[in-house]
């Protein structure tokens, strides 16, 4: 192999990991939420909320670690709002998730104007620098932990049971609504972490539209990965690969325009949801209020 090809492949692999990381976090958030029975359409908004809050707090304190934690907190807070609405008020989860997206994306743009008096983007803040590689590695640790928790702990079993048959969970003397609420808060925290990675990991600012549909790609990854932590992680890497490919190839390779590559995650999810790539089975009570 020539050294040019080696450099090319190394760049591609590196970029794939970087581009996949925020999607992995959000997709893991999607998995835990959906396994508990709550569809999280609001992942995009939670990512934006996390990305924006991370920048604000890193700017105020000068510490990107504080920013990161604040980003996670902001995501968790939005998760709480969705979870509270979906459990206590039994609202329609899809409608509520759409609302979360509008509130978070609009709220970030609104606050951008109020805090910095400039539209479009925040000033530069202290970012994580090269230590963001820890977050890349942590994404895989999170997948491992989530897998272990979901399949090998009593709590995980209960959460999965909530997604299949909340009535049975209730009859076993547990609280399905509480379990769902915790799951969605965790979901928001993970999406917030993914968003913070975008703003103070990859770069050092927040700009409007920076999440660029990654929350929806994560949703696609959840489905393509068949509602399992490793499946969703694999799907996120697959989607991250095509994003990386666009950067490495500077746009398009003759027969495959970059716009077509951007559509790949969505087309893949469409095929998956139609059951054309093997049997798909969502949690039985997914999306149904209890």
Partner 1 sequence: MNVLRRILGGPVGAILLAFFLAACAMLVAGVSPADGFQALFIGSLGGKQQIAETLVQTTALLFPALGISLAFRAGLFNIGAEGQLVVGGLAAGAVGAHFAASTPIAVFVLLACGFIGGGVWGAIAGWLRAQFNANEIISTLMLNFIALAIANYLVSGPLKSSAAAGAETAPLPGSSWLPLLIPDTRLSIGLLIAIAAAIVLRWVFTRTVFGYELRAAGEAPEAARRNGVNMPRMTFLALTLSGAIAGLGGATLVTGVLHRFNTQLSPGYGYTAIAVALVGDLNPLWVCVAAFGFGILEAGGLAMQALADVPKDAIHVIEGLIILVLAARRYIATRAEGAPI
Least separation in angstroms between residue 163's CB and partner 1 is 11
Interface with partner 1 by CB under 8 A: which residues?
Answer: 34, 39, 41, 81, 85, 89-92, 94-96, 98-107, 109-110, 112-114, 119, 213, 216, 219-220, 223, 257, 259-260, 262-263, 266-267, 269-270, 273-276, 280-282, 286-288
* Dist. CA 174–CA 158, nearest whole Å: 8
* Dist. CA 8–CA 194, nearest whole Å: 26
DSSP 73-104: HHHHHHHHHHHHHHHTS---HHHHHHHHHHHH
Least separation in angstroms between residue 248's CB and partner 1 is 19
Least separation in angstroms between residue 166's CB and partner 1 is 13
* Dist. CA 91–CA 132, nearest whole Å: 37
Which structure tokens are listed for 202? 């990859």
Buried-state track 194-219, b at ≥16 Cβ within 10 A, e below 16: bbbbbbbbbbbbbbbebbeebbbbbb
9 versus 95: smaller Cβ distance to partner 1: 95
Which structure tokens are listed for 82? 């969705």
168 versus 263: smaller Cβ distance to partner 1: 263
Contact residues for 101 (Cβ-Cβ < 8 A; gap 6+)? 41, 42, 44, 45, 215
127 versus 272: smaller Cβ distance to partner 1: 272
16 versus 33: smaller Cβ distance to partner 1: 33
27, 230 Cβ separation under 8 angstroms: no
Q: Which of 45, 72, 71, 36 is nearest to 56 (CA)?
A: 71
99 versus 201: smaller Cβ distance to partner 1: 99
Least separation in angstroms between residue 288's CB and partner 1 is 5
Least separation in angstroms between residue 137's CB and partner 1 is 29
Least separation in angstroms between residue 74's CB and partner 1 is 15
Q: How many CA atoms are closer than 13 Å to the CA of 141, on its beta-carbon side?
A: 6
* Dist. CA 258–CA 162, nearest whole Å: 41
6 versus 275: smaller Cβ distance to partner 1: 275
Least separation in angstroms between residue 39's CB and partner 1 is 5
Q: Which of 145, 237, 130, 128 is nearest to 190 (CA)?
A: 145
116 versus 133: smaller Cβ distance to partner 1: 116
């Amino acid at each position: 192999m020539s050294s040019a090809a080696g450099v090319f492949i190394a760049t591609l692999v590196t970029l794939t990991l970087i581009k996949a990381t925020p999607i992995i976090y959000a997709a893991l958030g999607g998995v835990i939420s959906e396994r508990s029975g709550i569809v999280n359409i609001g992942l995009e908004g939670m990512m934006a909320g996390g990305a924006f809050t991370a920048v604000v707090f890193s700017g105020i304190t000068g510490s990107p670690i504080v920013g990161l934690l604040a980003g996670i907190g902001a995501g968790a807070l939005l998760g709480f709002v969705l979870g509270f609405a979906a459990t206590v008020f039994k609202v329609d989860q899809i409608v509520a998730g759409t609302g979360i997206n509008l509130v978070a994306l609009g709220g970030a743009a609104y606050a951008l104007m109020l805090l910095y008096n400039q539209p479009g983007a925040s000033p530069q803040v202290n970012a994580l620098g090269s230590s963001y590689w820890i977050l890349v590695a942590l994404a895989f640790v999170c997948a491992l932990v989530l897998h272990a928790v979901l399949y090998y702990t009593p709590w995980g079993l209960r959460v999965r049971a909530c997604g299949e048959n909340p009535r049975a969970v209730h009859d076993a003397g547990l609280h399905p609504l509480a379990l769902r609420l915790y799951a969605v808060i965790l979901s928001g925290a993970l999406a917030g972490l993914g968003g913070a990675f975008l703003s103070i990991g990859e770069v050092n600012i927040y700009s409007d539209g920076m999440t660029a549909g990654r929350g929806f790609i994560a949703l696609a990854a959840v489905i393509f990965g068949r509602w399992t932590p490793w499946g969703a992680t694999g799907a996120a890497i697959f989607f991250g690969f095509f994003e990386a490919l666009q950067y490495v190839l500077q746009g398009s390779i003759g027969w495959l325009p970059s716009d077509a590559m951007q559509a790949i995650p969505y087309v893949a999810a469409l095929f998956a949801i139609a059951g054309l790539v093997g049997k798909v089975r969502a949690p039985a009570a997914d999306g149904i209020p209890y």
